[in-house]
A and B are shown apart, each in its own frame.
Chain A
């Protein structure tokens, strides 16, 4: 090597600094704390859900096309989750690399009454919450998970992913799933059907929901709609919009009793997927320990130093190599 030790160290320091600077800029830019102005999301009202699973059917159909969250170029047909031995149902037991949207049920006691805590049950729709300040995005070392600065959708860039699965550990809602069965695995999660917006379409699950349990729209509108529903009295009649928050199609029906809580308003710093239910959200499988803190704040002190650590290791390693190489040469002589 023609470079002398001094020059080498200098070059290494400059290079490391450059890495540090670039990382800091990209990471800093991708960590918003406020709702993007055009943020879109879904409002799920468990009291309206009838558990027909139409949303799960359309989710798989619409996301198995190029750009979709479940697309695989070589896959024939839809990504079915066969959990029973007969292979006759697409019976996902949980979110998986083939199922990014699932309807679950929680039961208490005898489980007879819908949307009641005592001896009741409630349905719940589980998929990515699209956090305003997503932990998965903040921990991804290669920016494979990103938050769209305009509509706020948290999406995945397959070509970037190195498969470290930090996102899966970081997500407080345990949403991202890994293609363990694949030789070149990807991370799979709901992308709010962002590949359909250009066609003027919206999330597949809301499109197929027959009761208006899932409605798509701008988060600000969804929040207003949810706040309105929380002021309604049980037994009143209300026209629930179907498919989208501003839809002309309404489903007029009696209002059930809500728990006075809009989930996703403040949890984990706020999310773009909002939920209303008749039972406490702990019952619906949401972790009690999820605080209102912006989660990336917890780790940002460390995460932000990663580029510096990488640079230090590079520089230190290179320096050690340079020094020991010189010594080895001395020995050989």
Chain B
């Protein structure tokens, strides 16, 4: 802590004002559900160590995960990669190109052997020895093996790297596989964290990186290796429209009355009830509520959930993970459709008249029949 205090005396830390820097560290701690005091620890970890090296490998991806990182506000990307972490290799953000870039990658891998964090975005094609994705003449398959071997931890960012994402959608022509499966098949034991989402929330990624730097271990993970602080609950549980679901108020069509009133989007195919993510509480782009799919009036697509996003039809109803009672109540005495006594009397009168008419028709019909048969006989 002494070191921190010492560094805190300076006007700026890592280019931040002291105030902003501590604010950032505390925000990160809160984001991970850690006690506020942890902010100071994070500050210590970030300021006293050499900037942690990060290598970023892109395979079959759309650069959406990089884009999401570009849109962080605390810290902004330039602060992050120039002052907080040392981004050694990232195909989109590299200054160098060609051989220069590849040489730098190899140099960093050697220099930081066993210490760097490898971030993977994009799925890895494994069909036909992975020839469907090559970087500098090497397949993504071999690159991942090479780079993960010496990494301290692998963070698979985005749905593609976490479980396959779009490239793995049926019929999966390239044999797109998630990073953890590739590593398993290669027998590499480096721990993997999955941050699924299309794109994932950048703060889920940043929080995981900072947790690792601070505590030298990975945050608590669920059975799919997702950090629990972000993927511990389904979207449905924290959704701002949940009360409408419980009360049975649904938007049936885009633009209908219920949709305009902000009713629940379940019947439009919202996958919130089966998707684990923290979108409704973390939100996107730091612009407040409304900046996430359901907030804009579109049902959740389930982008971060294996077997939901890019797998199920967009507007098919979700299969809720946890089923709870609605906020509707059974009446003690079931309420029947109200019928006033006047209506009842009228109905009785009408039915009486109908019976009478039917009886008359029957009698007269019978008579006629008799007459008809009589005619025929004649």
- Contact partner of B332 (CB less than 8 A), chosen from A53, A92, A105, is A105
Of the candidates B245, B326, B335, the one having the most CB atoms from chain A within 10 angstroms of its own CB is B326
Contacts of A285 in B (CB 8 A): 332-333
Contacts of A102 in B (CB 8 A): 330
Partner-contacting stretch, out of A83-91, A225-233, A245-253, A262-270: A83-91
- Please tell me if A106 contacts chain B, counting CB pairs below 8 Å: yes
B330–A104 touching, CB < 8 Å? yes
CA distance A92 to B326 in the complex (A): 9
Measured CB to CB, the nearest residue on chain A to B320 is A88
Measured CB to CB, the nearest residue on chain B to A105 is B329
Of the candidates B327, B332, B335, the one having the most CB atoms from chain A within 10 angstroms of its own CB is B332
Contacts of A106 in B (CB 8 A): 331-333
- Contact partner of A78 (CB less than 8 A), chosen from B267, B323, B332, is B323
B interface footprint on A63-101 (CB within 8 Å = 1, 0 otherwise)? 000000000000000101000001011111110000000
CA distance A283 to B320 in the complex (A): 35
- Please tell me if B266 contacts chain A, counting CB pairs below 8 Å: yes
If A86-B317, A88-B273 touch, whether A80 touches B323 (CB-CB below 8 Å) is yes
Contacts of A319 in B (CB 8 A): none
Residues 293-339 of B contacting A (Cβ, < 8 Å): 317, 320, 323-333, 335
Secondary structure type dominating chain A contacts: loop
Q: How many A-B residue pairs have CB under 8 A?
A: 54
B332–A283 touching, CB < 8 Å? yes
CA distance A80 to B331 in the complex (A): 19
Residues 31-61 of A contacting B (Cβ, < 8 Å): 51, 53, 56-57
Shortest CB-to-CB span from A236 to chain B, Å, is 29
CA distance A283 to B323 in the complex (A): 30
A91–B326 touching, CB < 8 Å? yes
How many of chain B's residues touch chain A, expressed as a range?
10 to 19
Contacts of B331 in A (CB 8 A): 104-107
B325–A90 touching, CB < 8 Å? yes
Chain A interface, number of residues (Cβ within 8 angstroms): 25
B332–A284 touching, CB < 8 Å? yes
- Contact partner of B324 (CB less than 8 A), chosen from A90, A104, A123, A284, is A90
Shortest CB-to-CB span from A103 to chain B, Å, is 7
A123–B329 touching, CB < 8 Å? yes
- Please tell me if A242 contacts chain B, counting CB pairs below 8 Å: no
Measured CB to CB, the nearest residue on chain A to B273 is A88
Residues on B close to A: CB < 8 A?
A: 245, 266-267, 273, 317, 320, 323-333, 335
Identify the 8 closest CB pairs spanning chains A and B, nearest first.
Answer: A285-B332, A105-B329, A106-B332, A89-B326, A53-B325, A90-B323, A104-B330, A104-B332
Apart from the given pairs A57-B324, A105-B330, 12 other A-B contacts in the complex at a CB distance below 8 Å: A51-B329, A80-B323, A86-B267, A88-B317, A88-B323, A90-B323, A91-B325, A93-B330, A103-B329, A104-B329, A104-B331, A105-B329
